[in-house]
Amino acid sequence: MNFDFSPDQRSLREQARKFLAEQSSSARVRRILDGAAPYDAELWRGMGEMGWIGTAIPEPYGGAGFGYLELCVLAEELGRSLAPTPFASTIYLATEALLLAGSDAQKKRWLPKIAQAEAIGCFAMAEGAHVATATNLVTRVAGGRISGTKLPVMDGDVADFAVVVAAESAGRAGLFLVDLKGPGVTRASVSTVDPTRSHGRIVFEGAAAEPLGAGAGWPVVEHLLDRAAVLVAFEQLGGAQAALDMAREYAIGRFAFGRQIASFQAIKHKLADMYVGVELARSNTYYGAWALSKDAKELPVAAAAARVAASEAYYQAAKENIQVHGGMGFTWEFDCHLHYRRAKLTGLMLGSARRWKDLLITRLEAGAA
């Protein structure tokens, strides 16, 4: 496969980078980290005004109607800048669920609001420490009412609506729309290693639940997670590249024993290993972008490969960035810990690294067979 982004898409990347350098500066990220707010509402509104939130939402539903390659470009830049917004939960998951399985009425109700940054969505699947599957869901829907607890839910404490994975009375897993401002819903914020990505606990006690579309089953959930995995991988790629750039710049500007520390073999090797990891992730995420944009049959393998490579690259780059900075890298004043926090958190989004490695192996074996 020979794939690259078009000149227009690369131009979008440059515009996004300039915008985010000003609107998602380290100072603004730290403001959210310090607990000033669960997310940067001003940045979120600005992204809506730029049309980014509606990038892949069709024009009939109020979006820009571009496509997933443009969304991948934006995801990379959002990861690079550590943008503290509910973009991932709203766009990669809730919006995608609506586009994949929602009825026309459901799309008309929520997608225009999302595109204008007037609604935040979330995807509620996890139920604690165990891995949620089609057969072990505790959250249940009966008679149009949902009961159970979802934890953790990305942006669940600030979202307006949720797409919830729950078991129906017949035992079949399905997707349901729940208005989180309605009765029967109790929410609380949950602390994580990265406070710039808000998380919550949602308790449903007989809340009204509307089947998504005609009733989406577990195959739709798996397809949704594969599509979201590619977009999360692009965020991780952007973060990994930013951590690598930060380490390189520090190594060039820091002197010890009268020499740049970048000239020391130990530092060179760290930077080289970081670079190899980032480029491996880039290759796999680009493959994922191609498969996502074409909704190709290779998407399950491409998504898992992108997820695995990007998770490892980001964690390695964030960790080694701290080491390159030496003792200063462990201080609050330096920004190294911002990427380390995000790398740890994104590594667990949509499931652990082990889960995606297992999926990749299973899917490769199935393809070979």
pLDDT tens digits, one per residue of 139-181? 999 999 999 999 999 999 999 999 999 998 767 899 999 999 9
Long-range CB pairs of 179-185 (<8 Å, 24+ gap) are: 179/208, 180/122, 180/156, 182/207, 182/208, 183/207, 183/208, 184/145, 184/146, 184/208
Q: What is the pLDDT of residues 101-129, one digit of tens each?
A: 999 999 999 999 999 999 999 999 999 88
pLDDT above 90 coverage of the chain, percent: 91
CATH of the domain at 262: 1.20.140.10
> Domain boundary residue among 115, 146, 174?
115
Query: Is the pLDDT assigned to residue 369 strictly greater than 70?
Result: no
The answer to whether residues 75 and 101 belong to one domain is yes
- Residues 11-24 have a mean pLDDT of 96
For residues 305-338, one letter each, b for 16 or more C-beta atoms within 10 angstroms of the residue's C-beta and e for the rest, the string is: bbbbbbbbbbbbbbbbbbebbeeebeeeebbbbb
256 within some domain: yes
Question: What DSSP letter does each residue of 24-45 carry, written as one string?
Answer: T-HHHHHHHHTTS-SS-HHHHH
308 within some domain: yes
The per-residue pLDDT for 213 is 87
Q: What is the pLDDT of residues 195-235, one digit of tens each?
A: 999 999 999 999 999 999 877 789 999 999 999 999 999 99
Range(s) of the domain holding residue 346: 218-368
For residues 104-142, one letter each, b for 16 or more C-beta atoms within 10 angstroms of the residue's C-beta and e for the rest, the string is: eebbebbbbbbbbbebbbbbbbbbeeeebebeebebbbe
CATH of the domain at 191: 2.40.110.10
Query: Is the pLDDT assigned to residue 302 strictly greater than 90?
Result: yes
Q: What is the pLDDT of residues 309-339, one digit of tens each?
A: 999 999 999 999 999 999 999 999 999 999 9
1 within some domain: no
291 within some domain: yes
The answer to whether residues 229 and 350 belong to one domain is yes
The per-residue pLDDT for 231 is 98
- Residues 40-56 have a mean pLDDT of 96
**Cα separation of 108 and 104, whole Å?**
6
The answer to whether residues 130 and 100 belong to one domain is no
Domain count within the chain:
3
Question: What DSSP letter does each residue of 188-207 carry, written as one string?
Answer: EE---S-TTS-EEEEEEEEE
53 within some domain: yes
305 within some domain: yes
Residue 192 or 369, more confident: 192
The answer to whether residues 67 and 186 belong to one domain is no
2 within some domain: no
**Cα separation of 119 and 45, whole Å?**
11
The answer to whether residues 194 and 265 belong to one domain is no
> Domain boundary residue among 211, 227, 248?
211
- Residues 297-308 have a mean pLDDT of 97
330 touches 179 (CB < 8 A): no
The answer to whether residues 151 and 231 belong to one domain is no
The per-residue pLDDT for 1 is 62
Using DSSP, state whether 165 is helix, strand or coil.
strand
> Domain boundary residue among 178, 211, 244?
211
Residue 327 CB partners (closer than 8 Å, separation 6+):
none
The answer to whether residues 56 and 37 belong to one domain is yes
The per-residue pLDDT for 215 is 76
The answer to whether residues 187 and 203 belong to one domain is yes
317 φ/ψ angles, rounded to the nearest 5 degrees:
-65, -45
Using DSSP, state whether 312 is helix, strand or coil.
helix
The answer to whether residues 126 and 57 belong to one domain is no
The answer to whether residues 263 and 339 belong to one domain is yes
Q: What is the pTM of this model?
A: 0.95
The answer to whether residues 352 and 236 belong to one domain is yes
The answer to whether residues 298 and 362 belong to one domain is yes
**Cα separation of 129 and 131, whole Å?**
7
**pLDDT mean across residues, the chain:** 95
- Residues 252-278 have a mean pLDDT of 94
- Residues 259-285 have a mean pLDDT of 95
